[in-house]
A and B are shown apart, each in its own frame.
Chain A
């Protein structure tokens, strides 16, 4: 666990949960597995506060617990899960793109609460939507609409049921049946928040200290749902491929690739090096109708993609009109290389980029690795051959990106801190104005309040807002680079494992 990553985790926890949680997390970051007593003594916080903090963290899937050899419960912090919290806006955006506003709110609610029952979240979202619709003057919608979206999300595995950690022994014991059950949605009975029949007892409540709704009994469906991060990551990977093909060939090729990926969505396992083969007939039938591609053109696009130098798509047989697979390993390597080349071009110039590409293309030529002609490695008589080790470069750039991410977070915190007084003043002014509007104050009073913020302060505020926006956007873009590098390294590890 690198120093940088730990600092980022610490800062993110502080951003999302506050100082107390940060203190507890710092201890967990340093000491890895801790039990309760240890935590309390290291963090110097009273026991009940520590318990409270741990509850919150477990609820948000950031801390797991298990019994150690001595029979004590030890708590472990999941670093990756913390970093994934940064991606929640991206998840929400995906949900909106795929399934619309209802899905967007569903994902936001689930992410906010960590783990939540289906009926609760459906009702929450329905209420929120109806409020917004009423304000805009549209008719209300029923909860069944939202329930349908929920089912859609579950069917494509974007959300999953929480597995009770007390019951599962180890991941290998979960057989296929159980995995399928993770995504089945129980029927929804609106208005029955309090007395809900548990239709299937798939999973028990996830932890003993969960905050239940006021008035809802524990017999409320015992099925809690949470966001399936891996699935979203697979989706992002697919998006990377589609974007690349779109810029390399054209838009329609991107659509075709999207269709193939969608057909493979729930079939292929995570981090498979090549996807399952799909026949041409399936692809053609699954294409969106508004593309209006004839069979011939579709086939031609597939041929072009298969022949292309990027090598994303491979044709492996002729049955069913042609069987096509997607070579994920090669695709990730190409995309990762493209990102690395972009770094080199921006940092060192086009000439350096040319040299770098020559080394990648020729693999072992040119000069640097020492090969000695004579027994002693005399410099005058040894050859040196250069080469590029992409995996090492990816790791180095990942470190670099993490550092940049931390710098961005720190800078943003600093800007917020320095201008806090000003921002609070603006907030107060806005609150007063809102109050006045509600109680029907006149324009004069509003003017007065607005005047209290001087023009100089206004420009300052604008500048600060602009800076914070830029830093936020910067974080998101950095996350994109981090995601590409991390995914590439994951695929490399999988490749190594399958070789052994």
Chain B
């Protein structure tokens, strides 16, 4: 009878360390072929066991490369710690949520990605929340929808709505105030330009203000509690364009290439149209109005009131 020394366990751990070493050397990740190259003495079965053990202990990550091949990457040891206590499913869910970054992920998507039952996912989420590892944030786009993200992350703008939302409420007065202030600034600039400059082209060019200028003005005014960025101001200036109170041109920027947007206040083409200067223009029952009917010009209350005003 031959006595065989069971070499395998030592070999296994040995293999694991060597795989780990390989991972260290190739921070981008290694694939099966590479492992086989370096450790030709281990067969497929041992390799698979080693890799599985590394995966379950959370030392390496299993990822799919862009070409569809499987690669193994060394896992960040700090990140491995939090879910040490949890089981496999929790880790999976946690990983999914982490991957969603600061946009957060919806519960249905978690279910699809993890292939777990809804009840299970719910339980895991509650668990993770109590451990203060993840948090739920309500999205402004759909108020019933809750997205989950890591506890310490700042929610992205698309979720909270950015500067215009405070706690899921659209701050319309804030937007209105900013709208009026920007418009006043542009009007003042245009008037100044008209007074001081002689020829029309200089007047027009002088009345332009870049979004940077407006942003500086608003920041100095200090009417905003939160810090506003230039993009925020640009959205406000866009609302002014939609109101028909200002217009925008894009010119080549000075210095480092790219483009700047310039805005200036404009006057409207007409004051108001003839139709709306009389009651019939804004009458709510005009469809029912005809001579001899219940609603008719001869008995019209609006006409009576309008004609009485001296």
Chain A residues numbered 375-417 whose CB sits less than 8 Å from any CB in chain B: 397, 400-401, 403-404, 406-408, 410-411, 414
Chain A contact residue count (CB 8 A cutoff): 56
Contact A411 B300 (CB under 8 A): yes
Question: A304-341 interface mask toward B, CB cutoff 8 Å, 1 = contact, 0 = none?
Answer: 10000110000000000000000000000011001101
Given A304-B201, A342-B272, A343-B276, answer yes or no on A357-B244 (Cβ-Cβ < 8 Å): yes
How many Å lie between the Cα of A397 and that of B281 in the bound state? 9
Contact B286 A400 (CB under 8 A): yes
B267 at the interface (CB under 8 A from A): yes
Given A342-B272, A410-B291, A410-B297, answer yes or no on A347-B281 (Cβ-Cβ < 8 Å): yes
B282 at the interface (CB under 8 A from A): yes
A436 at the interface (CB under 8 A from B): no
Chain B residue with the shortest CB-CB distance to A355: B242
Interface residue SS majority, chain A: helix
Chain A residues closer than 8 Å to B198, beta-carbon distance: 297
How many Å lie between the Cα of A50 and that of B303 in the bound state? 38
How many Å lie between the Cα of A353 and that of B204 in the bound state? 26
Question: CB within 8 A of A470: which of B280, B296, B297, B307?
Answer: B307
- Inter-chain CB contacts under 8 Å: number: 128
How many Å lie between the Cα of A310 and that of B306 in the bound state? 35
A269 to chain B, nearest CB (A): 26
How many Å lie between the Cα of A296 and that of B200 in the bound state? 10
Chain B residues numbered 270-287 whose CB sits less than 8 Å from any CB in chain A: 270-278, 280-282, 286
Chain A residue with the shortest CB-CB distance to B201: A300
How many Å lie between the Cα of A484 and that of B247 in the bound state? 24
A478 to chain B, nearest CB (A): 5
A248 at the interface (CB under 8 A from B): yes
What interface size band does chain B fall in? 35 or more
Question: CB within 8 A of A354: which of B242, B273, B296?
Answer: B242
Question: B291-310 interface mask toward A, CB cutoff 8 Å, 1 = contact, 0 = none?
Answer: 10000111010010011001
Chain B residues closer than 8 Å to A303, beta-carbon distance: 201
A482 to chain B, nearest CB (A): 8
B226 at the interface (CB under 8 A from A): no
Chain A residues numbered 225-276 whose CB sits less than 8 Å from any CB in chain B: 243-244, 247-250, 252-253
Chain A residues closer than 8 Å to B282, beta-carbon distance: 346-347
Most chain A CB within 10 A, of B199, B204, B280, is at: B280
Contact B243 A407 (CB under 8 A): no
Chain A residues closer than 8 Å to B200, beta-carbon distance: 249-250, 252-253, 297, 300-301, 304
How many Å lie between the Cα of A238 and that of B32 in the bound state? 80
A350 at the interface (CB under 8 A from B): yes
Beyond A247-B267, A466-B310, A482-B274, list 4 extra A-B contacts (CB 8 Å). A334-B269, A404-B286, A411-B297, A478-B275
Report the 3 A-B pairs with minimum CB-CB distance, sorted nearest first.
A477-B274, A404-B280, A407-B297
